[in-house]
């Protein structure tokens, strides 16, 4: 029998419902796996085993009565930027200290209402700023994946690197994550998982530690397309506590998984063929096109002419919003405080200098600069104009196609220590993912192949606003054709 931790979420839900095993059993199996693996993988930054077992017992009682929600009894992990009542929430920043929220984020509240069980809080880049998870105050997680014949530690991506590590190493059935410029999809690609960022406004941002409010969206990291649909259905809702929450019903996406893509029109944006893209990424992309064609889709070349301005625009808009959102961390209201010589300003300065890491400080400086009186028009306003053009590009493309197919990332996962340390090099990793955030569109990453070095590679499907359905269908078609079954060798168990 497959170990309980190796089940997909869908298979686990079946087993729980038919009472082949209990929530306590599958939760205990995960807790044991975490205790054994976490010292090496550093996926979880806070463990909540007592809470998990109490939730599991409550789920078992409901299941015994023939009741229970859509995720009843399923143990999952939570990225450390979702506020969890009574459980420390830090966004992996020192400035939040031991902050323990007295309230629950809407996304996690929805999951618990559906019967999910919380195993703990997952590692991430500080305030979700990053692509490698190296900026966490708890140190980076280590991807369960390794290059063939090598023991060099590999990044699970970022900012949701802990979520990706935990799901890929079977330390939870699925996890919550968030995506401001690619933080669900890039770790999904790096760790051989499925990750979807829904349309902006589908998931409530209430109780999510804010990075860039007009870009942030919650979504799941999961083992399969079906699992990601099951998670997303439970996470999304209309929420009066978030003014940008959409007032529309949440569809049953899990029923679209497996529906044919026959007749679907898939666009291939030529501007995503960037200079210096490795041959194997090109080949993967062509393979994806061939798979969808064979499944009955029509492939169309499209143009998104403003793509080259997306990354610079993102790195103006995101820091600008961050500088405003992170103004609240002043040592007075939350978390850590470092008092200076006594004046209020001095305490602010000391607290923020000690509490924010280097990359966060760099972004706050950029954000404050581009919003300042003399530069607002030259930078922020221009970036907003670019954003409007990018959205128009997508709208024009979607007049002739139903979805777009691109690689998720310009390379396979990098090894820690192999990147130059130049922040711009790291920012370039977001080249294929930030556009969907700027335009508010749904986008999914699905594992498609292994690189020549044996690391996972992902393909991305971007859909029309509110059309997650097409994303799920196209991703499921790729999943079926790719037959991606590779799993990391469990070296961390040795
Ligand atoms: N890597 C991107 C950044 O550093 C995206 C992060 C995210 O999506 N949270 O901003």
Given its phi and psi angles, is residue 42 left (phi above 0), alpha (psi -120 to 50 degrees) or beta?
A: left
Sign of CA dihedral 477, 223, 155, 307: positive
Whether the pLDDT of residue 1 is over 60: the answer is no
Query: Measured in angstroms, how far is the CA atom of residue 429 from the centroid of ligand 1?
Result: 10
128 CB near ligand 1 (under 6 Å): yes
Domain ranges in the chain are: 2-239+407-493
Whether the pLDDT of residue 454 is over 70: the answer is yes
Query: Measured in angstroms, how far is the CA atom of residue 162 from the centroid of ligand 1?
Result: 14
Mutation probe of ligand 1 site: the residue of 80, 125, 164, 180 with most atoms within 8 A of C-beta: 180
Strands (E), 20-95: 44-47, 75-79
Whether the pLDDT of residue 2 is over 70: the answer is no
Please state the rounded mean pLDDT for residues 360-381.
96
Query: Measured in angstroms, how far is the CA atom of residue 184 from the centroid of ligand 1?
Result: 9
The minimum-distance atom of ligand 1 relative to the CA of 182 is 8
Atom 10, ligand 1: residue with shortest CA distance? 129
The minimum-distance atom of ligand 1 relative to the CA of 212 is 9
Asked if residue 228 lies in contact with residue 471, where contact means CB atoms within 8 angstroms, the answer is no
Nearest to 87 by CA among 127, 50, 56, 33: 50
Mutation probe of ligand 1 site: the residue of 92, 125, 128, 195 with most atoms within 8 A of C-beta: 128
Q: How far is CA 327 from CA 193, 400, 430, in A?
A: 35, 43, 25
Whether 323 is catalytic is: no
271-292 confidence digits (pLDDT tens)? 999 888 899 999 999 999 999 9
216 CB near ligand 1 (under 6 Å): no
Is the bond into 159 cis (omega within 30 degrees of 0)? yes
126 CB near ligand 1 (under 6 Å): no
The whole-number pLDDT of residue 420 equals 72
* Helix locations, 42-91, DSSP H: 49-64
Whether 79 is catalytic is: yes
Backbone Cα Rg of the chain: 21
48-78 confidence digits (pLDDT tens)? 999 999 999 999 999 999 999 999 999 999 9
Whether 341 is catalytic is: no
- Candidates 3.40.1440.10, 1.10.287.70, 3.20.20.150, 3.90.1300.10; CATH matching 2-239+407-493: 3.90.1300.10
Nearest to 291 by CA among 270, 330, 319, 264: 264
State both tokens at 277.
Answer: 């893209």
The whole-number pLDDT of residue 124 equals 98
The minimum-distance atom of ligand 1 relative to the CA of 160 is 9
Mutation probe of ligand 1 site: the residue of 182, 321, 362 with most atoms within 8 A of C-beta: 182
Whether the pLDDT of residue 299 is over 80: the answer is yes
Whether the pLDDT of residue 228 is over 90: the answer is yes
Whether the pLDDT of residue 455 is over 80: the answer is yes
């Amino acid at each position: 029998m497959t170990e309980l931790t190796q089940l997909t979420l869908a298979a686990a839900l079946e087993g729980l419902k038919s009472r082949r095993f209990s929530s306590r059993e599958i939760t205990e199996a995960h807790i044991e796996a975490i205790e054994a693996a976490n010292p090496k993988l550093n996926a979880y930054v806070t463990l909540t085993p007592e809470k998990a077992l109490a939730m599991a017992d409550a789920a078992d009682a409901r299941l015994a009565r023939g009741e229970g929600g859509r995720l009843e009894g399923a143990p999952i992990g939570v990225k450390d930027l979702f506020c969890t009542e009574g459980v420390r929430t830090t966004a992996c920043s020192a400035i939040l200290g031991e902050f323990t929220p007295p309230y629950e984020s809407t996304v996690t509240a929805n999951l618990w209402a559906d019967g999910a069980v919380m195993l703990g809080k997952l590692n991430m880049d500080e305030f979700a700023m990053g692509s490698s998870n190296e900026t966490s105050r708890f140190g980076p997680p280590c991807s369960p994946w390794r290059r063939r014949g090598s023991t060099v530690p590999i990044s699970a991506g970022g900012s949701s690197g802990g979520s990706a590590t935990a799901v890929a190493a079977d330390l939870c059935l699925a996890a919550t994550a968030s995506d401001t410029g690619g933080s669900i999809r890039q770790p999904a690609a790096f760790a051989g998982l499925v990750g979807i960022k829904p349309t902006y406004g589908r998931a409530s941002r209430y109780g999510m530690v804010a990075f860039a409010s007009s870009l942030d969206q919650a979504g799941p990291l999961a083992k399969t397309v079906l699992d990601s649909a099951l998670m997303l259905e439970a996470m999304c809702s209309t929420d009066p506590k978030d003014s940008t929450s959409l007032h529309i019903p949440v569809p049953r996406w899990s029923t679209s998984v497996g529906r044919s893509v026959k007749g679907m029109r898939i666009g291939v944006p030529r501007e995503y063929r960037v200079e210096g893209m490795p041959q194997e990424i090109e080949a993967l992309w062509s393979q994806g096109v061939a798979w969808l064609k064979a499944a009955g889709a029509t492939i169309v070349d499209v143009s998104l002419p403003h793509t080259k301005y997306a990354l610079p625009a993102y790195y103006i808009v995101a820091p600008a919003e961050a500088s405003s959102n992170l103004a609240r961390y002043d040592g007075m209201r939350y978390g850590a405080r470092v008092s200076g010589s006594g004046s209020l300003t001095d305490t602010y300065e000391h607290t923020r200098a000690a509490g924010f890491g280097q990359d966060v400080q760099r972004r706050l400086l950029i954000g404050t600069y581009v919003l300042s009186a003399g530069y607002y028009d030259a930078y922020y306003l221009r970036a907003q104009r670019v954003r409007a053009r990018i959205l128009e590009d997508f709208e024009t493309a979607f007049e002739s196609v139903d979805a777009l197919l691109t690689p998720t990332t310009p390379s396979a996962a990098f090894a820690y220590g192999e990147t130059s340390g130049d922040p711009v090099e790291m920012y370039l990793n977001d080249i294929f993912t930030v556009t969907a955030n700027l335009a508010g569109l749904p986008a999914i990453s699905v594992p498609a192949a292994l690189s020549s070095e044996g690391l996972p590679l992902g393909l991305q499907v971007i859909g029309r606003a509110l059309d997650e359905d097409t994303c799920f269908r196209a991703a499921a078609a790729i999943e079926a054709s790719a037959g991606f079954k590779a799993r990391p060798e469990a070296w961390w168990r040795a």
